[in-house]
Structures are given as structure tokens and as C-alpha cells.
Structure 1
């Protein structure tokens, strides 16, 4: 695995630099996959990338996917990511928790948290 460093809105994977418009909030590593959650600053209007603010890269710095659409409502940002028992979960601002396919970025299941 290449060395990984974060500097505000830049992710360094070995000698590769990936720069995002927004600050990196969280990074999780699972094998050869690097999951990146961006901190989306409040805006008047959110666009597609704002509401799909989770990305996956390989250990060579190549983008594998950007998270897919939610089954119900796709108009808010994700606020956290977790790896639990080798499963990737993402929580959004509305309190919903999603099981995310680590290979494709597709959302496989939605949970409502209380």
C-alpha cells in the first residue's frame, strides 16, 4: 500500500495528488481501497457532487467510483462513513444509514436511525 496523506482538500496516495473542491472530512482504508468523505460547506443550492460526496480510490490514486443514488431522496449530503465487519456504511444529514457496496459504490440497503 502506498503512503496516504491528507492536506485540507488534497489526498496524496504515494506520488499521486487528488484535489477536491471541498475539504476532506474522513478517510477509511480497507485493503487496496481508500474511501473518502468530503465536508460539504453550506450552500444555497446543492449539486450532484455535493449530495454524492463519497469517493473510492485504489492504492494507485485511480478513482474507482463515486457513491450512487439513494433509494429515497437524494437531496442531502453524507456526514460520516464507517467500516464495520468489513462492510461500508454511510450516514447522511437526515439520519439515514446506508450499506454501500465497496466494489461499485451502489447503495444496497437503507436503515432509518433514531
Structure 2
């Protein structure tokens, strides 16, 4: 089932419900009846966990789990990229650290480095 949505700079409208984010939206992908939203974070702003899961009625289901809760990581950064392979969803940061995302609850499942 495709979720109908409209995307503006920092707003997402799903089923006539508007969600306003703190920063502009970089990517929106639908996976398993969830819209995965990656926010674009300016270089001079400290804002982590910039990935959200939105349901079909326009409610925020989850915000991505903090990387430092799961993996020992120096210098956590906002996510820069969102990749979907079949039903697997990956997010990565500027350093190429890639994380597998559970689209049901926003938990991080695994980590590797992409070059």
C-alpha cells in the first residue's frame, strides 16, 4: 500500500496531517507501510538522530535510536544518506559508517563501514 504524502522544505503532509521538522527534509522513502524521513542537518548545527518513522496517518512512530546506545563510537554525526535494498534500510554518516535500521521501531541492528 502506497502512502500518499506531500513534501515541502521542512514539512511533510500525510493524510492531511502536517508534520513540521526542525530542519529541511533530505529524503523520504516508504518501506513496510512506514515513511522513513531523513532530515538535512547544516554543518554548523549539532543535531543527531535525524531519521524518523512516520505511519500512514501522519504520526511519528519513532525517532532513530542513538548510535552511542548500541555501538562504541567516537564523534557521532548526523546521518547523511538513506539507502533501501529490498526491505532493508540503511543510514550512513559522513565518515561512511553504515547502520541497518529496524523500520518497525527505529532500533539499530548492525554496523559496518562503507568506503
Residue 72 of structure 2: aligned partner: 72
Unaligned runs of 5+ in 2: none
CA RMSD of aligned residues (A): 1.4
Q: Scaled by the length of structure 2, what TM-score is found?
A: 0.89
> Displacement of 1:62 after TM fit?
1.0
Separation of aligned partners in 1, 2:3 and 2:114: 36
Separation of aligned partners in 2, 1:99 and 1:9: 25
Q: Where do residues 11-90 of structure 1 align in structure 2 (5 Å cutoff)?
A: 11-43=12-44, 46=46, 50-70=47-67, 71-73=71-73, 75-90=76-91
Q: Scaled by the length of structure 1, what TM-score is found?
A: 0.90
> Displacement of 1:2 after TM fit?
4.5
Residue 11 of structure 2: aligned partner: 10
> Displacement of 1:32 after TM fit?
1.5
| Count of matched residue positions in the alignment of Structure 1 and Structure 2 | 110
Unaligned runs of 5+ in 1: none
SS for the counterpart of 1:111 is strand
Runs of 4+ with >3 A deviation: none
SS for the counterpart of 1:51 is coil
